[in-house]
Amino acid sequence: MKNYLLLLVFLMGCKHQKLTPKEIVTNYYNGRNAVDFNKIKPLVSDSVTIISGDYIMPYNNDSFYEVFKWDSIFKPSYKLVEIKENKDQIIASVIYNCLRNDFLKNSNMTCQYKISFNSGKISKIEELNCKNVNWKVWEKEVNALVNWTNLNHPELNGFINDMTMIGAQNYLKAIDLYKAKNELKQIPKTRK
């Protein structure tokens, strides 16, 4: 009986070990890379704010999960390349790639994020910079895709602002249709 109590106390002690902010961020990006929401859910606060440029997006658990599912459709890869502690925040450098970025001619985006915590969980992720992203090319490619889709496949209209799994699926459909159209243009015509 004594051994059983010692084992129980040991297991309970292990279960309550707090992760450091660096471990939380490392586990978060490992979970993102594995496309496994169950790995990141315990690391994220009940309300999370994502800041990217002028966009401030507050999420609760359900809406954060919706955006996670949106991202997962694009087959993302996240590689944490550097992590620094700055008082009670973490500065993380991450290489991010996905099918959408490939199409927008900005593969392997390297971005820095400032990550804040509340009660030992991630509460805010603020994009500081993405040093190797060409936003002009990104915008040109997005505009070309949206305009072409609006003219040729109006059933997909609105995919660009639809941050749900269906929106991401429509985004990929638009990309595939647009690429197929461009590939047809490049096939040389044979002479008779």
Q: Which letter does DSSP use for residue 187 in this model?
A: S
**Residue 58 forms part of a structural domain:** yes
Per the structure, the complete domain to which residue 143 belongs is given by 134-184
Give the model confidence (pLDDT) of 128-158 as tens digits: 999 899 999 999 999 999 999 999 999 999 9
8 Å CB contact between 39 and 25:
no
8 Å CB contact between 139 and 146:
no
**Judgement on whether residues 68 and 102 belong to the same structural domain of the protein:** yes
Amino acid at 39: K
Measured in degrees and rounded to the nearest 5, phi and psi for residue 43 equal -95, -10
- Is the pLDDT score of 77 beyond 50? yes
**Residue 119 forms part of a structural domain:** yes
pTM of the model: 0.83
